[in-house]
Amino acid sequence: MPTYLVSRLIRREATVALGGDGGDELFGGYLHHSWVQQQARMGEWIPRPARKLARSVVSRLMPIGAKGRNYALGLTAERPFNIVQFNVLFDAHARGRLLAPFAPPFRSLGAPEAYKAALCNERHTALQQATSLDFRTYLVDDILVKVDRASMLTSLEVRAPFLDPRVIELAFGRVPDRLRATAHERKILLRRLAERLLPPSLDLRRKQGFSLPLQQWFKGAWGQYIESVLTSSDAILFDRGVVRELLAGQRAGFSNTHRLFALAMAELWRREYRVSSVGATEGPLPVLQRA
């Protein structure tokens, strides 16, 4: 929605615009690009048996949405699973509880993490693995899809100069980690270049994402609507006890807005296309079909 609104404004003045997509993935612009390096160093000091025990305790006893939960799960995971843990809405244990009514037992709970872990090159540094993974998954499956659909809805052409093959080869092949991101700085090379070329009045440290203000919206009528959608959802798909936990956690100050939003969108999609589950108790993988 924010990308669509910006595109609509730009389209009043131009038919083609330049976007910055790829800059974060290529040059280390996300917060977790610093975290993975911290975790890589800290994780070396934690014995493997202790990591396994701590991970089990965190996943079972630390509430979903509690601050630091994903970081703790990443800190206690084996590499490269510590890298794929970032930005996960529901870890394997949480998914198992959430989807219990849909597919007991759900035997492929770790499949998404295993798929992403297989994309990581064990010979690369933690930062190289994280940026490469973001480039191959998040950028193409989320960011570029969003920008393409939102901009073309307004008949605006958006170009992404950072995705020039020469820039990609430079970022992944020649720029060292110390000029991409460290434990305390991100997108270092681009900011140094910007300081030389752009007006000093520009705030080069500020980073503004194009995300919805879900946290604020949940405090009003929109949040009440989302709650009503989820509390009346199909219990065959999502465990209502887990949904109630997420809602209670949100009211208590936990960060569950994106989780609740995602579940609500899935439920509204199911209602829109009249999708129901068939054979939920007849095997490990029930079938979804149009009602």
Q: Annotate 185-228 with three-state secondary structure.
A: CECHHHHHHHHHHCCCCCCCCCCCCCCCCHHHHCCCHHHHHHHH
**Phi, psi of 289, rounded to the nearest 5 degrees:** -145, 160
Mean pLDDT of 173-192: 94
User: CA 78 from chain center: how many Å?
Assistant: 20
Intra-chain end-to-end CA distance of the chain, in Å: 30
Does pLDDT of 220 surpass 60?
yes
Nearest to 193 by CA among 32, 74, 27, 76: 27
pLDDT tens by residue, 106-160: 556 678 889 999 999 999 999 999 999 999 999 999 999 999 999 999 999 999 9
The whole-number pLDDT of residue 70 equals: 82
51-106: pLDDT as tens digits: 888 888 888 888 898 888 888 888 888 888 888 888 889 988 888 889 887 765 55
Per-residue pLDDT of 123-136, as tens digits, reads 999 999 999 999 99
Amino acid making up residue 188: I
Q: Where are the domains of the chain?
A: 1-211, 214-290
Statement: the pTM of the whole predicted model exceeds 0.75 = yes
Q: In angstroms, rounded to a whole number, what is the distance separating the alpha carbons of residues 82 and 139?
A: 19
